[in-house]
Structure 1
Amino acid sequence: MKFSFMNKLASAFAAVMLMTASLVQPAAATDPNLVLDRIRDSGELRVPVMIGEEPGYIRDRDSGEWGGFYMEWANDIAELLGVKAVPVETTWGNLAADFQAKKIDIAFGLNPNPKRGLVVDYLSVPLFTDAWAIVAKPGFDKKNWADLNDPSVSLVVQKGGTMQVVAEALTPKANIVVVEDRPLGVLEMQAGRADAMVLAIFDAVQVAKQTGGEIILPAPMLLNPATIGYAREEGNEGYENWLTNWVNQQRALGLAQGKLHKSFEAHGIDLSILPPEFSF
């Protein structure tokens, strides 16, 4: 009787242990190439494009096709993956939502943004280095961030972009005018309703040409890494690693810098007007 009871007890204990082990088994690891394979299987690399963001994004008025150096980079990557780059029209402020809705697969020229970074991952290496600048009306004499932080100063920024974060952090006392996109900011400048517009310096070159304004790098100069963003989701490790390798090659061989120079020269923009203390 005692032997039978002990056998039953041992059997019950073994059954409990087996059941417990089955409950705590680790979940199957996610395929690190899941996102990369999905893009290749779909035949498309969906990339955001934006009105009024020349020369990064340029829409041909006759054909409706998109170009610009960001689109050229997208085409380069798409070709290597054996897919087609597909433009998706949006704005900087909508990028996070677009990634969450799986409308886009990649975005170029992003600045690390903690709020957007809750749902978007950034490559740890920049594609090129930018800096924060202003395009100021002629005769504007404020050359540093402390002087710009004044209620008498009106600064234009684009809604949802990192330029808004910069302005609100460094010049909270200024009159910050938030607009939906760059063309509306240009209109504010042309109409004389703003003293300056906060921009990444490569965008400032284009806006200065449109408005006749002066490019100023407020002191202290704030360098701004322009990198690549992609959705935070399971299985994007292989995609991240592949993109990092691509960016490292672009920078090591001078391909990224060369593309920027070529694009600006093709659109009649003289990079010699950039402040001498800036280098990308």
Structure 2
Amino acid sequence: MRRMAVLPAAAIVAGGVLAVGGGGPPEPETALERVQERGVLRVCTTGDYRPFSHLDPHTGEYEGIDVDMARDLAGSLAVEADFVPTTWGSLLADLTGGACDISMGGVSVTLDRAREAYYSLPYLTDGKSPIARCADADRYRTLEDIDRPGVRVIVNPGGTNEQFVQEHIDRATVVVHQDNVTIFEEIIAGRADVMITDGSETRYQSAQHPELCATNPDEPFTFAEKGYLLPQGEEEFQEYVDQWLHLALNDGTYAGHAADWFG
């Protein structure tokens, strides 16, 4: 009886020794640990939203304020930034589905997104504002001016621009244009009259295209903020990104990247 009692105990001890000796290092438990273990920060970005994120079709390289910020964040973790293509319609699903660790590139803070993901600290205050051909800009200063029969409002699908148009434009003709990179050329060519987008984008695009004028970027139709989208439940990662962003906003890092695009 004594021998029978000893054998299971010995087996348990042996099993424990085997388990300890045969096991590898523990798996990273948090997003922050996984990024550092992997050596790569995977960044979902649309690549179609200057000045924040733009994929250069000639070089295949990403550029923009938030592209530079993503590389800065990766550098602070001693890892590389890897940019994962996404669209405004799939941005949230790609993040929550694990395709990337963070979404960056002029992402507006919305309650719909906040129900499924975390946001960083906001880094920019913005709001929806119209942009039109300079010759016609005075005709499109208010929503009442824009939402009239005969006015063609152009919009890119899948994001807050389309959501705003769906909620506020009833009488004007809505023209959906799939490519946010070429959408402003449609206005210049006369195939659309006005676009309602973030004031920061209207400032940038009017500087790039002298034919276009931002009508009221300092008095937008809405209040909005931009932040970086993070996986829900990853408090440690969120806290790190918030601290990094807080420093970047106060030590000139963000301002330096923005100056490259806004001057």
Residue aligning to 2:231:
231
Confirm whether residue 68 of structure 1 aligns to residue 64 of structure 2. yes
C-alpha distance in structure 1 between counterparts of 2:81 and 2:159, whole Å: 24
Contact 1:189 1:211 in 2 (8 A): no
1:113 to 105, 110, 115: 110
Residue aligning to 2:213:
214
C-alpha distance in structure 1 between counterparts of 2:50 and 2:154, whole Å: 18
Superposed displacement of residue 201, structure 1? 1.9
Contact 1:128 1:256 in 2 (8 A): no
Instruction: Tell me the TM-score normalized by structure 1.
Output: 0.73
C-alpha distance in structure 2 between counterparts of 1:54 and 1:220, whole Å: 19
Stretches of structure 1 that go unaligned for 5 or more consecutive residues are: 1-31, 266-280
Superposed displacement of residue 258, structure 1? 3.5
Residue aligning to 1:43:
39
Distance 1:220 1:48, change over 3 A: closer
Distance 1:72 1:222, change over 3 A: same
Contact 2:40 2:79 in 1 (8 A): yes
Residue aligning to 1:278:
none
2:92 to 90, 96, 116: 96
* SS state at 2:228 partner: strand
* SS state at 1:159 partner: coil
C-alpha distance in structure 1 between counterparts of 2:39 and 2:236, whole Å: 17
* SS state at 1:225 partner: strand
C-alpha distance in structure 2 between counterparts of 1:89 and 1:163, whole Å: 20
Contact 2:130 2:140 in 1 (8 A): no
Q: Per-residue CA shift, 1:127-169, capped at 9, x if unaligned?
A: 1222322211222312112322223322111111111122222
Superposed displacement of residue 99, structure 1? 1.0
Q: Per-residue CA shift, 1:94-135, capped at 9, x if unaligned?
A: 201211221121122211223333322222x31122232221
Residue aligning to 1:249:
247
Amino acid of the structure 2 residue aligned with 1:113 = T
Contact 1:33 1:239 in 2 (8 A): no
Instruction: Tell me the TM-score normalized by structure 2.
Output: 0.78
Aligned length: 231
* SS state at 1:93 partner: coil
Confirm whether residue 201 of structure 1 aligns to residue 167 of structure 2. no
Residue aligning to 1:272:
none
Residue aligning to 1:143:
141
Contact 2:132 2:140 in 1 (8 A): no
Equivalent positions of 1:7-18 (< 5 A) are none
Contact 1:155 1:195 in 2 (8 A): yes
Identity %: 26
Contact 1:145 1:220 in 2 (8 A): no
C-alpha distance in structure 2 between counterparts of 1:51 and 1:217, whole Å: 26
Confirm whether residue 87 of structure 1 aligns to residue 76 of structure 2. no
Distance 1:237 1:51, change over 3 A: closer
Residue aligning to 1:26:
none
Stretches of structure 2 that go unaligned for 5 or more consecutive residues are: 1-27
C-alpha distance in structure 2 between counterparts of 1:64 and 1:214, whole Å: 29
Distance 1:51 1:77, change over 3 A: closer
C-alpha distance in structure 2 between counterparts of 1:172 and 1:98, whole Å: 31
Superposed displacement of residue 78, structure 1? 0.4
Amino acid of the structure 1 residue aligned with 2:187 = M
* SS state at 2:84 partner: strand
Contact 1:130 1:200 in 2 (8 A): yes
Contact 1:47 1:104 in 2 (8 A): yes
* SS state at 1:115 partner: helix
